[in-house]
Every structure is written in C-alpha cells, then in structure tokens.
Structure 1
Amino acid sequence: MADTTANAANTPDVEQPWADLGLKEDEYQRIREILGRRPTAAELAMYSVMWSEHCSYKSSKVHLRKFGDLPKTTPRGELLAGIGENAGVLDIGNGWAVTFKIESHNHPSYVEPHQGAATGVGGIVRDILAMGARPVGVMDSLRFGPLDLPDTQRVLPGVVAGVGTYGNCLGLPNIGGEAFFDPTYSGNPLVNALGVGVLKHEDLHLAHASGTGNKVVLYGATTGGDGIGGVSVLASETFDADGPAKRPSVQVGDPFMEKLLIECTLELFAAGVVTGIQDLGGAGLSCATSELASAGDGGMHIELDRTPLRDSSLSPEEILMSESQERMMAVVEPGRVDEFMEICAKWDVEATVIGEVTDGDRLVIDWHGETVVDVPPRTVAHDGPVYERPYARPEWIDKVNADAAEDLARDALPLREQVLRVMGAPNVADRTWITEQYDRYVLGDTVLARPESAGMIRVDEDGLGVALSVDCNGRIAYLNPYLGAQHALAQAYRCVAATGAEPVAVSDCLNFGSPEDPSAMWQFVEAILGLVDGCRELGTPVTGGNVSFYNQTGETAIVPTPTVGVLGVIDDVATRVSSKLPDVGHELWLLGESRDELSGSVWADVVHDGHLGGMPPKVDLEAEKRLVALMSEAHGLVASARPLVEGGLVRAAVESAIIAGRGVEIEQQGEPVAWWFGESSARLLVGVDPAVAAEWNAACEKHEVPAVRVGTVLDGTQVRLGDMEFSLEELSGTWRAPIPAAMES
C-alpha cells in the first residue's frame, strides 16, 4: 500500500530512511517544516534526489553566482539562453543559433564503464535537443589512472566503447576531446561529455509548464528499475577506498531509442505542438515534474500510475527516482494532443498523457487515486539547501610550490632520450586507439576532427561554422587552481583560435574532491575565481555547465580538474586552418613568448619520476587575445597552426610531422630543456609560405605578437631538432605505442 499524504499526516513519528537516501538530519527536518508534516515515501524520494549535490548544487551555488556578472553577449550576438537552462544558446549570425554544454558522468562510469559513459553521452544530447536544436556533434574529456594499472585497463576500454557505441548509433560525429592519466584518477575516472546542436532563433524552446489545462505527456522509453537513485545519489558521495559504498544501479542506454526520440522531438517542434519540454536525466520524473512546474505559471497534477513501466513491481518512490534513459516530458495544449500522439506513433515512440497543468501552486502526484505527493514544486527543484562550506588554503601547498621543476637537473638523461620520453608519455601519446572507435565524419558536416587541435562543424550551406575545444591540465590546477582554471580556459581558447575561428563562449565542467574537505573546497573556489576573471578579460560568457564533487577515493581526491569547453564561430569553414604540417619548403614560425617554465610539465613528470611542484606557467590572456586577432585577420597567410600545449614545442613539431607524414627541421634557440619542453602559454607553431613571409611578419608586428622563424618543412622523413636527428618512423613508433600496448596487455 502506498504511503499517502493523509497517512503521513496521521503518522508523524514513523521512522524514515532519510540518511540512507543521502539527506542530512537538518535537511530532513527542513522538509518536515516545508510540508508541515513528515514527508510521504514518494516525497522523501523526490527531495532526496533533487536535494542531492549532483542536482541541487548546494555546495557550489554561492560561488557559481559569480558567473552571473559576466557578459550576456558575445562578439557574434546575444546570449539567447544561459545558466539555469538545459543548455546555453547563443546567436552566431545568419539567423542561426548554437547550443552547447558539457556535463559529467564520473561515478557511474567507474561502477559500470560502458553504460556509465554511454548514458553520459545520451544525457547531454537530450539537453541539447530540449532547447529545440538538432544535435550535430559530441566531444569527450576523459581522465583515468595510470595506463599500466589493471583497473585502468578495465575502465578505459569500457568508457571508450560506451562513448563510441552510443554516439555512433545516434549518427553523431565525435569531433574531438582529450584523455589524461594520473594516479589520483585511479578508482575515480572522469567522463565529461560535451554536446553541440544548431537551431534557428525561432525554434528555441525552454523548460516551463504554463497554461492551465495543458496536458503533461511522458514520451520515449518506458520506466524501469535501472538507475534508481542513479547519478543523483551516486555522484553525491565519496567512494570508499574499496569502491563505492552505495551502488545504485547505473542507467542502461538504448541509443536506437534515443535516435527515434531525437527525430520525433524535432518533428514535434516543427509542428508547433510543444509549449514546454524537459528531458529526464538525473533524478528522472522527480526532476522533470518539479522543474517544469516551478518554472511555469501554475501547478501540476500527475497520475503516476499512468507511467508506462517495464517493471510492474516498481513502487511510486522508485518510479520517481528512476533514471531510466531516453525519456522526455512535454507540455501540450489539449487540442494538439492527438497531433502529438500521431507524430510519436509515426516514430514508434510511446507517449502517454500522465497529467495536466493546474491553476494552483502545488505539484500533486496521485497513485491509483490516492495522493502520494503534495509539495510546493519550487522547494523541490530550486529552493533546496545552500551551503557556504568552509574552505582554507591547504598547508601543504607552500611546500609543493617551493619545489620548482625549474630547479631540477636538466642533464639527468641525454637530451635525445628526453625527447623520446616526452613523446612516449601517456599524456602526450597518440589517442588514435580511442578516436578510431568514434565516427568523426557522419552527417557530412565535420570540417576538422582529431588529431586536429579543435573540432569544427559546418552549420549552413554558406559555410558558417563552429569550432570547439575542451581542455584542462589537472596537474597545473593542483599547483595553483586559480591559474590552472585560467590555463584550461586559455588553452581551449587558443585551440579554437588556431583554426581561424573566433572564440565566443564557454561551458565548463568543474570536477573536484569532497566539498566537505576545506582544501578541496578552496581549490574549487579558486578555480571559479580564475574562470570568472579570465572570462571577463576575454569577454566570453559562461553559458552553463556542471559541477561534479566527491571525486575522491577514501582520503585521496583527484587533482582539481576544471574542464573548459570553448566554442568559436567561423564565417566560412573553407578558410579554416589545419594543425598538420603544410607543404615542403614552408617556413615554421613560433608565435608568443617562450619562457623558462617547466613546473607541472610533462618533462618534469617523465624525466623526473612523477615530479609535481612549483608554480604553473604565466597566464597572459591579453597575449591570447592578440593571437586571436592575428589569426582572424591573417588566416589567408597561414598554412598551418598548432597550439603549444602539454609537451611544449617538441610535441607540437613532432606531432605535426607525424600526422602530415613529412620531415621537419627546428632550430634550437635558448637553453635546450626550456626551449624544447617548456610549457609557456599563448604560443602557436605556424606554417607560412616563404612567398608571403614579409606580409606575415608585418601582420605579427601589427598585432604585437612575438614571432620568430624556427624551422622548415623538409622533403623526406627526417626530423631534425637542433643537433638531434630522428627518423619519422622512430618518433611515430614511440608516440603511437603507449595506449595500444597497455590495452593489448
């Protein structure tokens, strides 16, 4: 028998499992105060998932508000939807808008790597779809433990297969991303998925339930027991050293159902039969009903027993907590319901009217004629706990910052061996083993994809396009989270600019340890400040994103990982710039200032046995902006451009040569280790035809970008780095081997 509101009013002293559902005692008492009685089992389930860290942002809200001070416009136009919506939407010109967002699916991907990662992709795609956009691409940012650990060899293949299978079955290109390895990700991998979609301005849809008498329709897959509690609970607690203490079942994805759901939803939009829409992701029906109702102008009444189930034994609270995938909820005018149902039937998508919008201010949910939920919807969806967690700069960081890599022995190994060590480092090595499992060119609009430094997609037949990059270096953020967040921002910004696109907006996925640890909370606060200050200086709004806390195994937190996605716009994709080496005889120019900056570098890690200390390289956002201005004006003079990132100049030169299959000669200028392996920011390695060298040099001077000619593209397969000489085959073998070798083992 269901626990009704009447029963709850008459049995105030019934013991309830609030702690098992992740609620604190004071939170439970607050729920009782809101309702004026104890909650029913169904109400307790709703509040527990919606007040979880993953859904309510209760530890981060006070700091995320700082993003509200950032610009609401971009160099291309208005921000049409921002933080608080399913995904950010911005004007890119020609009547087009683009929506993009990045979110985490970290803990589920450790418990069940394939389904955890797959449903992460599915969830972000539905966020894009819910804005009225056609999804056109995905990207992923992945973090794992060391390659040689058995658990990495369990998790990595499952995650990659999940990302690839789901995206491939949807027919969406995976246009780029990143993968990093660090001991702190052992037992707590990060799976951050980014989705991007395009729409006309008039097609924008928002999540709200308005219009008394309008019907509430649940459509898509049926509701099952998979994912009960799911990410909303699992992502809101720390893993024990032996694994997660609680393991709610991970959602199970069906990409073919999602493909039908996408096409069905787009046709529903085109027919004009939807007045409000919400996807069912974290917290499932609890989220969709409470968020739609609280964002509308009335209340909502739901008959929960109408929910199509694939497990008839589910209780009301289990149905409300289920995070079964491929489901959406729409608000439809009564006179358009039949048309809505016909479109769903055409796509073989099950649809059921389960309620209606009311003229009250309550969310009421009945189960077989009896009320099991009667709540103010805003208290569930928006007015949850807000914590100002204590934070403090950790004592250990001074010692870490004093241990500068610049002071390490630079002749610990012969220089030639250092080059091979860096090129064979897991955080530099070839990602083809990963990316070959993704379809990068389906739909026919992919212009750039891995191994390019940023992805690019054509939007319309006139050549309008968008470029995207996701970046973060957790080792740098560990040394200084403020600067680490700005490095992530600057690197993604630079990677987009290198293609010839203009960076215009940001989405972020902020991955940190437990917010109950003052040190981890300090890292988070510093990263927020770094991003806010950085975005303000660059003039780029943050359109939305995600916070993922409790990325911690026992007492070991991950290195702070504030992943940043940057979107850029290019007027004509035909003018894009590739990162691979241009034709033989082209000159190579190094743009930007190269300093003696080795702390946090790949060189320090692989030449000095995992060394991590010192202060990160300087972040010069004005210099980054000058690079954008130069690349925007002089793209006709540039034959190639590769950003300098982890691994420094040696990586940029060697990777460009390997990908192009051409030799290269690079001069050594300055102290060898700093020159080849330093990781100073705001730098590009650019290929220029000698015939336009003078014009190119003048453009660099105009934009005050330091530029020095450092090399030449060779006819052959030799790679000459100063006095060192390598065959392309030797370098390629070293670079390509690490991930396949680990996976084969």
Structure 2
Amino acid sequence: MLPENDLNIVTKEMGREPNLVEQGCFLNLWSEHCSYRSSAPLLKTFTTTGDRVIIGPGDDAAIIRFGNGWALAVGMESHNHPSYVDPYNGAATGVGGIVRDIISMGARPIALMDPLYFGPLDNPKNLYLFEHIIEGIAGYGNCIGVPVVRGEALFDESYSGNPLVNVVCVGLAREENIVTASAQKAGNKLILMGSTTGRDGLGGASFASRDLSESSEAEDRPSIQIGDPFTEKLLIEATLEAIGEGYVKACRDLGAAGLAGASSEMASKGNLGMKIIADNVILRETGMTPYEILIAESQERMLLEVDPDDVQAVLDIAAKYDLNASLIGELTEDLSYTVMFKGEVAASIPVKLLTEGAPTFERPSTEPAPRDAGEKPEMPEDLKQAILDILSSHNVASKKWIYRQYDHEVQLRTVAKPGDDAGVLRIDGNEGIALSCGCNPKHTLLDPYQGGKGTVIENAMNLAVKGAYGIALVDCLNFGNPEKADIYWQFKQAILGLGDGARELSIPVVGGNVSLYNESEEFKTAIAPTPSIGLIGYTEDVTIAPSGVFTKEGDTIILVGTTKDELGGSEYYRTIGKREYGMAPAVPENVSQIINSLIEAVKSKKVTASHDLSLGGLAAGLCEMCENMGATVDLSDIENDLRTDDLLFSESYARAIICTSEPAAVKELLKDVPHTVIGTVGGNELKISGKEFDVSISISEINKAKKSLLNLMME
C-alpha cells in the first residue's frame, strides 16, 4: 500500500495508522499524478495571471475572458500509460476526461487538439498503438460532437513502448454561468450524476505514476477506464442545463483518484469537510468495497454541490436525460473527510492532510557534461532527393490520414481546418480564436531550456501567421523518471525555458498537467523530453487569416526572420542518419518584435498566404505551400555565409514565409524585423537557387512525397 515514508507521515499527523481504505485514498491523492510532488516547486515559477485570466491553475480548467460577456475554458491532460496498455480506450477516455473538465466549469466544449507522439511505425507494436489511439480519439470525439481542429503527430524511437497521448479542450461559456470546484456552503448536498460506478480504472492515478514494463498490458488492464461517449453526450447536456438553471453551486469531474479525489478536493477548496454515504453510490457491479467505490475511475461521472431545496430538481434533470443520479453526501463545517458504509465509518481523514499534505520537493538534478556537437556532416550530393526524403518522412509528411478520421466541421465554427499552421474558430461575429499545440522534442533533448522556450515561440508563430496573438497557455509536461538526476535536470530546464518564453510574449500559463515516469523497460528507453503545450490566441477578425499555401500567381515571396547554422535536432539530420550532430536552435532576442510585426502585416489584409517554418526548414516550408502552384525562389541575397544545407534545412526559430501583391507596403509594416524578398509565386514547379546550387521539383513530385508511406500504409 502506502510507501513507508508516506505511511509514517500520515500516521504521525492522524495520531494512528490509517486503515486500508484510508491508505488507498492517500496512495492515489499523494501520487505524482495528483499531487505534483516532484514538480510543484518548479511549476510555481510560471506566471499564471493576466488581464484576461479569470481562473488560473488549480481548478478542473482555466477560465479566460474573451469579451462581450463570453469566457473560454481551457484544459490539457495526458493519458499516456493507459494508451499503451489499451490504446483505444486509453485514448478515448483521455478525450472524455478533458471534455468533462471543461463541462464542470459551466462551459460547452467547442474544440479539441491532440498532440501525439509515437515510436517508428516499422515496428508492428508501434503501428498497432498508432492506429488504435487515433481510432479511440476519433470514436469518442466524433460521437460527442466536439471537433478536433488541430493536432500533432511526431515519431521517434524514444516513444517505442511509451506513446504520448495529450489532449487539449477549449470550451465556451457566458461569464455569469461559470462555476468552480470550490465547495460553497456547509449543509449543501452532493449529487453523483452520470454512469454507474464499476471496478474499471481502479488505482489509475497511482498507475500513471510509475514506469511501464513488459507485463503492463496484463497486470494494468484493470487500471484502464472504459468510455461511453453516448453517456458523455447526455452528461454534457444535463450538467450544462443544471448549471444554467442555477442549481449547481460547485462542480467537479470524477477523474484521477475517482470519487475520493473529486469529493475531497471540492471540500478542501472550499475550506469545508464532507461526509460521504458510500452505500448511496449507484454501482455497476455487486460486492464492491468502500475502497473500490472511492478509488474507481469509472468514466462519465460528475459530482455536483446543490442546495437542499434543489436536489429533486437536479435529480429530475438527470432522469430527463436517462442518467443515473443519487444523493451521496453533504458538506460539513468539520474539516474531516468521512466515508460511511453500511452504518460504519470506513474512512475519517483530515481533509487538508489528504488534499494538501503530500510533501513536495525539488529532486537532485545533474547537468550532463557539455555536449560535443561533432564535425558538420558533408552535404548530400543530391539536394533534390534530400528535400524529397524530408517531405516523405513521417514527421513532415501530410497527416491527412489522421485528421480525416476526425469530424472537424461539427458546430460550424471552424474557419481554418486541420493541416494548417493553426486552427481558427469563430466565436462572436468575426471575432475568434486561433489554436496551436505541440513541441519539438528533438530540440528539447539537445537543449532543454532553449527547447522549452522554443516550444512557446513555435506555437506563437503558428498563431501569428493567422493574425492572432497568444492570450493563454496550457501545458502537458511529459518526461521520464524524475528520480534520475539527469531526467530531473531536463524537466527543470524545460520548465524554466517554457516559463521565460511565455513571459517574453506576455502569455500566462493558466493550467496543465505533468506526466512523469514515461519510461519503458521493454525498450530500455526514456522518452525524449516533451513539454507539449496548447496555445490559445485571439483574433479580432477570423476572415483575415491568410491561406497556408500559394494562392495567387505573381505574388512576392518574403522570408521573415533570420536563418542561422542551427541544424541540431533537425529533420534533415535525422533523414541523413546524423541526428547526433549539431546544436539545437536558440530563440532570437528580437522574437517578440518578429511576432508582433508579423501579426500587424497579416492584419493589414495585404498578406495573401503565410506559413510558419519549423520541421524541415525553408525547403520543407516552400514545398508545403506548393499545393496547387509553384514558385521561383532565389536565396543568393541571404547573408551570414551559410552553407547550402543551412539555408535549406535550418530550423531556426521565429521564421515565416509570407506572400503579398503589395511588397512595398508589407516591407514597411515589417520595418526593422529581418526580412528578405526571395521569389515569386507561379508555375507548376518549385525552383530554388542560390550562389552554389539550383534545384527544381514539380508539384506532382512534391505532393507524392508529402503523401508518404504514412498515408499509403494506412490506406
């Protein structure tokens, strides 16, 4: 049960040794997954407040002011370990859980994003995980009617045996309908509404806080929840109706640690106690013990605080939607978490000890020896083939097979669809939001600080090319075993970099999740450090968002930003088998100026097409824009004495391609931001030349490469 040190702390504080039910509560609520024991001190370095922040970290989701009485609910979660053991249900319930986090704040979910990370698909197990995780996300999201508008799919050997399934959800609410998870008043009643409670998901929180092993699939399958999206859809409507009628005083999704987690945290946040009658919980299976009733993570359940006079009205709403609901307890003045079962006390715990008593600490961290970047590899003799190889790599190639599984049109808000730099949604009139997600783990592996900082910059650039600026950030910090000093150093540096990048752009970090112990005994690997984020942007006019591909013959092509010899961690080095060489890109000092100038250029309505540069560098970015027409590009005027492969494949941060029919006006808007006119849109091929090279690739060759083995193997 409880680790010896934790047991000693609890015994001392309670004045007695906890019974088995109480130990189960502590085991789950004091787990790394729930209590952030290794990360809480580091997370406190984030700036979490801002003009738009109504509710920051600590609730089921953050609440951001949009305007005109509207508010956005934003959350991000992981379901990594469950998705390895049972990929379909693990991914599906990851979607279900983050959606309920949004509902519990009184918001209707309007968009999902899914940053995903897999091992190479030439491994049959990885291919199986990939296919069924995508199927799980699509199966759940499509059924509940929430569009998946953006995502990421990256492939690396380090994710073999430990795929990452991160999900972002955004919801919309009127400010007056917002509720929180903080209990309001002693004497108010607690209603558990939704699915019945079974033994599925037992110990899920503690399961998420340990390494995976070869035996995980068999041993840990009881820890995997089973989702029912049809019940979830009913729960969405019933919860929002009850909130809209003013019956709900506080609300909490039943996620990690099940009823024990949701109920004790609700009471603690309101500085109240709670009495639970476990007999009143509607069960799916006979003979369940109080331990199982409290800890089970059965899906599609919501805990509601209700005034005694409104209990019947809420039960009637549940019946209207054919949902189970029962009165299971009440809030008390006494700061005790008490559970009754068959007339006897099954648990009696000081509520603050349970929810806030887990010791947190910074673990020892060791910086590795300075890295030798090695000698710069020789350039490939066939540049055209090098470009095509990058385009056809799974990381760069079209992800159409993935996002065509998702319904991204439902709710009719989507303006920019999956496959673009950012998703764009209409919210109120022409005002809207832009959404981006993900990170570059290869950069973070080489330099955790710059990789963390670059994660913010890359996502902010995705918004900027659509004319939007970041207003809130949520994160999902995926790392290996924090008990290893080198892993904890990666974790710490990535957090510091992410925080500094967010501050530089004045974007508050309003919530998120930490997922540690992402290691696989089977493959003897820890994942690459993966500080994945979801970035929410605001745009005053969704109609100005430029296309991500060339659209107008004769347009001038402008490269914005500075290209440097920064090939470390690049897709180019990976494809030529030199992934261990080079230094990771560093974020430029003038990054905020670049982003702001780019946004102003787009807002002028003089930009016809725009595209952020990231994986594969300039060459890949130009090819991605050649969907229907080509371009003639001359890179001779770019200085810095760069080698040809630096020019074509560097992944320097804060760069973009923009196209315009009014180059003089756009150049004036860019002012002091580095930019170079590099070519003209037109023709049926992409011609790229420089001082020492000349490459021509037809549109058909580009499109064939972008389809790649990823799409062909899934047809």
TM-score by length of 2: 0.96
- Aligned match of 1:457: 425
CA distance in 1, matches of 2:503, 2:452: 13
Q: How does 1:465-476 map to 2 (within 5 A)?
A: 465-476=432-443
CA distance in 2, matches of 1:53, 1:441: 37
- Aligned match of 1:605: 574
- Aligned match of 2:140: 166
SS in 1 for 2:549: coil
Question: Is residue 700 from structure 1 mapped to residue 674 from structure 2 by the alignment?
Answer: no
Question: Is residue 54 from structure 1 mapped to residue 33 from structure 2 by the alignment?
Answer: yes
Question: Is residue 540 from structure 1 mapped to residue 519 from structure 2 by the alignment?
Answer: no
The answer to whether the 8 Å contact 2:601/2:670 transfers is no
Match for 1:235: what amino acid? A
Question: Is residue 615 from structure 1 mapped to residue 583 from structure 2 by the alignment?
Answer: yes
% identical equivalent positions: 39
SS in 2 for 1:640: strand
CA distance in 2, matches of 1:369, 1:632: 67
From 243, 247, 255, give the equivalent of 1:281: 255
SS in 2 for 1:545: strand
SS in 1 for 2:559: strand
- Aligned match of 2:680: 712
From 60, 66, 72, give the equivalent of 2:49: 72
Match for 1:234: what amino acid? F
Question: Is residue 520 from structure 1 mapped to residue 497 from structure 2 by the alignment?
Answer: no
CA distance in 1, matches of 2:342, 2:607: 68
CA distance in 1, matches of 2:606, 2:536: 23
From 701, 704, 710, give the equivalent of 1:733: 704
CA distance in 1, matches of 2:660, 2:504: 30
SS in 2 for 1:580: coil
1:84-122 residue CA offsets vs partner (Å, 9 max, x unmatched): 111111112222211212111101000000000010011
1:58-92 residue CA offsets vs partner (Å, 9 max, x unmatched): 1111111111xx2611xxx3310001111111112
SS in 1 for 2:153: strand
Shift of 1:242: 5.8
Question: Is residue 501 from structure 1 mapped to residue 478 from structure 2 by the alignment?
Answer: no
The answer to whether the 8 Å contact 1:537/1:621 transfers is no
The answer to whether the 8 Å contact 2:112/2:148 transfers is yes
CA distance in 2, matches of 1:156, 1:621: 38
Shift of 1:615: 2.0
Moved more, 115-124 or 530-539: 530-539
The answer to whether the 8 Å contact 1:515/1:549 transfers is yes
SS in 1 for 2:23: helix
CA distance in 1, matches of 2:607, 2:74: 29
Question: Is residue 334 from structure 1 mapped to residue 308 from structure 2 by the alignment?
Answer: yes
- Aligned match of 1:484: 451
Q: How does 1:525-604 map to 2 (within 5 A)?
A: 525-554=492-521, 555-604=524-573
Shift of 1:733: 1.2
Shift of 1:640: 1.2
Closer/same/farther in 2, CA of residues 28 and 246 from structure 1, 3 Å limit: farther
SS in 2 for 1:188: coil
From 670, 673, 697, give the equivalent of 2:645: 673
CA distance in 2, matches of 1:695, 1:419: 32
CA distance in 2, matches of 1:492, 1:617: 15
1:586-605 residue CA offsets vs partner (Å, 9 max, x unmatched): 12111011112111111111
From 456, 477, 487, give the equivalent of 1:510: 477
Question: Is residue 640 from structure 1 mapped to residue 609 from structure 2 by the alignment?
Answer: yes
Q: How does 1:272-421 map to 2 (within 5 A)?
A: 272-395=246-369, 398=370, 401-404=371-374, 407-411=376-380, 413-421=381-389
1:541-592 residue CA offsets vs partner (Å, 9 max, x unmatched): 1001011000011352111001122111011212222212222221211101
Shift of 1:385: 2.3
CA distance in 1, matches of 2:465, 2:518: 33
- Aligned match of 1:3: none
CA distance in 2, matches of 1:189, 1:404: 30
Structure 1 portions without partners, runs of 5+: 1-17
Q: State the Cα RMSD in Å.
A: 1.5
Shift of 1:721: 2.3
Closer/same/farther in 2, CA of residues 582 and 625 from structure 1, 3 Å limit: same
Shift of 1:245: 8.7
Closer/same/farther in 2, CA of residues 544 and 41 from structure 1, 3 Å limit: same
1:283-324 residue CA offsets vs partner (Å, 9 max, x unmatched): 110111110111124211110011011111221101111111
1:110-161 residue CA offsets vs partner (Å, 9 max, x unmatched): 0000000010011111111111111101000000001211111110001000
Question: Is residue 435 from structure 1 mapped to residue 403 from structure 2 by the alignment?
Answer: yes
Structure 2 portions without partners, runs of 5+: none
SS in 1 for 2:131: helix
SS in 2 for 1:430: coil
SS in 1 for 2:115: strand
Shift of 1:239: 1.6
CA distance in 2, matches of 1:178, 1:368: 49
CA distance in 2, matches of 1:348, 1:364: 30
Shift of 1:505: 1.5
- Aligned match of 2:9: 30
The answer to whether the 8 Å contact 1:494/1:624 transfers is no
Closer/same/farther in 2, CA of residues 242 and 602 from structure 1, 3 Å limit: farther
- Aligned match of 1:103: 77
CA distance in 2, matches of 1:270, 1:583: 48
Question: Is residue 239 from structure 1 mapped to residue 216 from structure 2 by the alignment?
Answer: no
1:509-538 residue CA offsets vs partner (Å, 9 max, x unmatched): 100000111010000010111112222221
Shift of 1:643: 0.2
Closer/same/farther in 2, CA of residues 525 and 469 from structure 1, 3 Å limit: same
The answer to whether the 8 Å contact 2:551/2:609 transfers is yes
CA distance in 2, matches of 1:742, 1:356: 55
SS in 2 for 1:341: helix
CA distance in 1, matches of 2:107, 2:479: 31
How many residue pairs are counted as aligned between the two chains? Answer: 702
CA distance in 1, matches of 2:478, 2:285: 34
From 657, 661, 678, give the equivalent of 1:685: 657
1:706-740 residue CA offsets vs partner (Å, 9 max, x unmatched): 1211122214x322222222221112111112213
Match for 2:362: what amino acid? E
SS in 2 for 1:459: strand
TM-score by length of 1: 0.92
Shift of 1:404: 4.4
Match for 1:738: what amino acid? L
The answer to whether the 8 Å contact 1:132/1:199 transfers is yes
